[in-house]
Amino acid sequence: MSERQVHTESPGDFFALLVKSGYRWQGRLDGASSIDKSGLIRGTTVFAFHFKDGVIVAGDRRATAGNSIMYDRCDKVVPIDDYSLMAIAGVPATAFEMARILSHNFEYYRRSQLQPLSAEGKIRALSTLLKENMGMALQGVGAVSPIFATYDAKLRKPFIYFYDLLGAQFQILTHTATGSGSPAIRGILEHENLWGVRPLAEREAKDAAILAIRLLQTAAQFDSATGHARPEEKIYPIIARIAEKGYAFFSDEEMAELYAVSMKRAEHV
């Protein structure tokens, strides 16, 4: 069959063209149904929002496999460089490898070019990794839905980006969340931003962290894959902030204090 005939018989049919060119892409997708995905470990729930001095990035600590709780101390907010964090929902094995690649590439660029990679370059680098992971994502065994937050030292401005499974990037001006517990969190964040005591972008770091703890506790009430904080075991959410001086995680001691405050019923004037 000539090349002209191939294109004539299946105009615009990308998968058919792959098959006729010798690739067995569809077979790989069909084979995914035979994979037992119940044993895959997945991480949920993460979110980010702008506060007065920068960005808050937070996540619960639970990792699940089907209906089983596999781990309750999973760090879902991962440093990439001094000014960048990635929050992960999805398969941790894939997400952590992406984080390692990004961290290595950013540092290599800084040392070889004697200057840090631009914020735009960092944002596009994660998009490229997600596109390269498309095959695993389509099979359902390597899907990652990340949030990337960074501070641009030149513009003196923080940025939040949300990505879909295929690498499309979306700049977030207020707040975003992903993972199984995200629907409740997105709704509360929108309410707080519009009708709370003050908009999210006007809140101090302490108030923003307390809100983050309450958000995750609320999500855990409705989503079994989102883990509660357990102060008796010193298990708290992981919360970090990015500002002009870079990223910083709230310590266990700070989290214990903030958790105690967050559990008190808010006083309404």
CATH value at residue 189: 3.60.20.10
Please tell me the distance from the alpha carbon of residue 97 to that of residue 87, in angstroms, as a whole number: 13
Lowest mean pLDDT among 64-78, 111-125, 185-199: 64-78
Task: Measure the CA–CA gap between 135 and 131, rounded to whole angstroms.
Answer: 9
Among residues of the chain, what percentage have pLDDT more than 70? 84
pLDDT at 233 over 50: yes
140 versus 265: which is more confidently predicted?
Answer: 140
Number of helices (H), then strands (E), in the chain: 9, 13
Which of 58 and 38 is assigned the larger pLDDT? 58
1 within a domain of the structure (yes/no)? no
Number of domains in the chain: 1
| Residue 156 within a domain | yes
Is 44 an active-site residue?
Answer: yes
The pTM is what?
0.84
**Residue 24 domain-assigned?**
no
* 68 inside domain: yes
Q: Which of 8, 44, 176, 178 is catalytic?
A: 44
- For the record, the structure tokens of 194 come out as 């519009």
Looking at every residue in the chain, the average pLDDT score rounds to 87
* pLDDT for the residue 140: 74
Q: Is residue 4 a part of any domain in this protein?
A: no
Rounded Cα gap, residues 112 and 127, in angstroms: 22
Domain range for 135 is 35-262
30 within a domain of the structure (yes/no): no
**3 lies in a domain?**
no
Q: What is the separation of C-alpha 195 from the centre of its chain, rounded to a whole number of angstroms?
A: 26
Residue 115 lies in a domain: yes
The whole-number average pLDDT for the span 249-262 is 96
pLDDT at 1 over 50: no
